[in-house]
Amino acid sequence: MFRPSCAVEWLFCLVLLLLPLYAPAQQPSVLLPVDEAALRPAFFAFRARLQQAIARRDARTILDAVDPDVRTSFGDGGGLDDFHRQWRPDTPDSPLWSTLGTVLALGGSFADDGSFRAPYVFSRWPDDMDAFEHMAVVAESVRVRERPGLDAPVVGSVSFGIVRVEAPEDREAPWRAVRLADGRRGFMATQYLRSPVDYRAIFSETAGGWRLTAFIAGD
């Protein structure tokens, strides 16, 4: 004889089998751009002067904005002399102009200690995301392709999200292998991706005004 309890057990098992088919797809993590510079007019004006100096390749203005004890690495050293040796701002081919220019262009936010940290990819990176296994998508509707190349089929797109990188980082490679939150794999153009442990700048207000107190990469 068929008992009601058996029917309940059978129905429960059926629900467990069908649940994955109706469960919502895993949503990608979102990291929207943030720029709080305008919250403090003095800093906003200071950053604007730096950006103008970068456009002119004005080494004097940049060096005047660097703190004498600026942090340049996670090891020993640091200071204005180390900053000058590392970046050579008085040379026309210095990588400082593009590196610092990109950092400032990507906004940032103020920390609890009053410092401004840029870019937002660093200052707002979520604690539950491994900074060495993921990268931020810093543009809207960035296409994910089946293979590297603009002629490859598109398998999806991501707007200001976070994706897992599938291969060791190669800063020179034009494409990166990524995995999306729903498990799909593909390739994204490197120019639209940024690591939270790439170069970032920390600005602090000192007795002499705002200064660049750290410009580092890594962890």
Per-residue confidence band for 117, with pLDDT thresholds at 50, 70 and 90:
very high
Say whether both 115 and 47 belong to one domain.
Answer: yes
- Give the position of tokens 């750290």: 214
Cα 187 to Cα 189: distance, rounded to the nearest angstrom = 7
Domain that holds residue 141: 134-194
Per the CB < 8 A criterion, the answer to whether 57 and 91 are in contact is no
Task: Output the pLDDT for position 130.
Answer: 94
Does 15 map to a domain? Answer: no
Query: Which of 1-15, 104-118, 130-144, 204-218 has the least mean pLDDT?
Result: 1-15
- Rg value, the chain, Cα: 23
**CA nearest 145: which of 171, 183, 184, 173?**
184
Say whether both 141 and 43 belong to one domain.
Answer: no
CATH number of the domain at 170, please: 2.30.30.40
Does 14 map to a domain? Answer: no
pLDDT tens-digit map of 143-168? 999 999 999 999 999 999 999 998 76
Cα 216 to Cα 200: distance, rounded to the nearest angstrom = 6
Task: Output the pLDDT for position 34.
Answer: 97
Say whether both 103 and 46 belong to one domain.
Answer: yes
Per the CB < 8 A criterion, the answer to whether 194 and 136 are in contact is yes
Cα 56 to Cα 22: distance, rounded to the nearest angstrom = 57
Does 22 map to a domain? Answer: no
Say whether both 46 and 112 belong to one domain.
Answer: yes
User: 211 CB contacts (<8 Å, ≥6 apart)?
Assistant: 65, 66, 67, 70, 203, 204, 205
pLDDT tens-digit map of 123-144? 999 999 999 999 999 999 999 9
The total domain count for the chain is: 2
> 3-state DSSP call for residue 164?
strand
- Give the position of tokens 């906004």: 107
Say whether both 97 and 177 belong to one domain.
Answer: no
How many angstroms from the chain centroid is the CA of residue 161? Answer: 10
CATH number of the domain at 94, please: 3.10.450
Task: Output the pLDDT for position 4.
Answer: 46
Q: Is the dihedral of CA 190, 194, 195, 200 positive or negative?
A: positive
Say whether both 148 and 110 belong to one domain.
Answer: no
Cα 187 to Cα 210: distance, rounded to the nearest angstrom = 40
CB atoms within 10 A of CB 87: 21
pLDDT at position 212 over 60: yes
